[in-house]
Amino acid sequence: MSNGIGAVVDVVAATAPEVRAGLADRRAYTESENPSGDRQLAADVHADELLCERLLDVDAVGSYASEERDAVVEDDGRLHVACDPLDGSSNLKSNNAMGTLFGVYDAPLPAPGSALVAAGFALFGPVTTLVVARDGRVREWVLDGGDRRLLEDDLALPAEPTVYGFGGRRPEWTDAFAAYADRVAEELKLRYGGAMLGDVNQVLTYGGVFGYPGLRDRPEGKLRLLFEGHPIAFVVEAAGGASSDGERSLLELTPDRLHARTPLFVGDPGYVDDLEAALA
């Protein structure tokens, strides 16, 4: 299994610079929507097609699923990969951060969080970085063309929280979450850019908490459990942080369908504990 996981990581590392290089010419919306009802950019479709083809070429990969597809694409292999091919693609027009998020499961999709064996993301910021969690450790590399240079061999969430970011519009928040957010705002600095990977990477770098809560008219939240919730929780928990849907770790959840949504909170364990207490 270890060699298979390494091959998946190699594919993402090799594909991410190509996805980034193709962004400038793929900023237009297509006429289609993804299964969650979001409009697709040409860049979303391009990233998804590249990753699907290349990951399924890995002998160990038995299936591929993504936010951009209605159904799982099946093959033969013991590993199953779920991707958000271009997280934050709505930021492309304004030239802000986005990236590619993936989770590797050892059970057919949709799978429980307990079936994750690795997860990570490539972040397209001023530089392209790759963060991968496996075997209880988080590593970070810089991707420069075809080269991969190790930055951190054991990435850990800073002990002193500094930043926070919460999604959704305040009028859509529940009273309980709004009260919690007010307390957080008195203690931490706001950092929110509208692409989950960029916002979570702020938390990994500086410490703090990120969340997209359940809303008054959408209690299930916005983010997808299989493609976003599980993988980012796996990374943050491996880095010494915590995750929650408001009641329990995201890794304790099993999606009831491929594109199931969830409230999502990750970051400093103390702030996540306080969040659960506030919403109880």
- The residues that bridge with 80 in the sheet, in sequence order, are 63, 105
Residue 74 pLDDT = 94
- What is the pLDDT averaged over residues 224-234? 98
d(CA 27, CA 18): 15
Interval 174-222: pLDDT, tens:
999 999 999 999 999 999 988 999 999 999 999 999 999 999 999 999 9
Residue 246 pLDDT = 97
Q: Which residue, chain included where needed, has tokens 């970085």?
A: 129
d(CA 254, CA 29): 32
* pLDDT confidence bin for 145, thresholds 50/70/90: confident
Residues 6+ apart with CB under 8 A from 70: 35, 258
Give the three-class secondary structure for 253: coil
- What is the pLDDT averaged over residues 228-235? 98
Residues 6+ apart with CB under 8 A from 112: 253, 254
Beta strand extents in 157-260 (DSSP E only): 163-166, 189-190, 208-212, 223-224, 242-244
pLDDT above 90 coverage of the chain, percent: 84
123: tokens are 């972040």
74: tokens are 């099946």
* pLDDT confidence bin for 31, thresholds 50/70/90: low
Residue 32 pLDDT = 67
Question: Dihedrals φ, ψ of 6, to 5°?
Answer: -60, -40
Instruction: Report yes or no: 269 and 276 within 8 Å, Cβ to Cβ.
Output: no
The secondary structure of 209-223 as a DSSP string is EEEE--BTTBTT-SE
- Give the domains, in start order, of the chain with CATH numbers: 2-152 (3.30.540.10), 163-279 (3.40.190.80)
DSSP structure class, residue 172: G
Mean pLDDT of the chain: 93
Task: Give the DSSP H/E element, type plus range, for residue 20.
Answer: helix 2-21
Residues 6+ apart with CB under 8 A from 53: none
pLDDT above 70 coverage of the chain, percent: 96
Give the three-class secondary structure for 140: strand
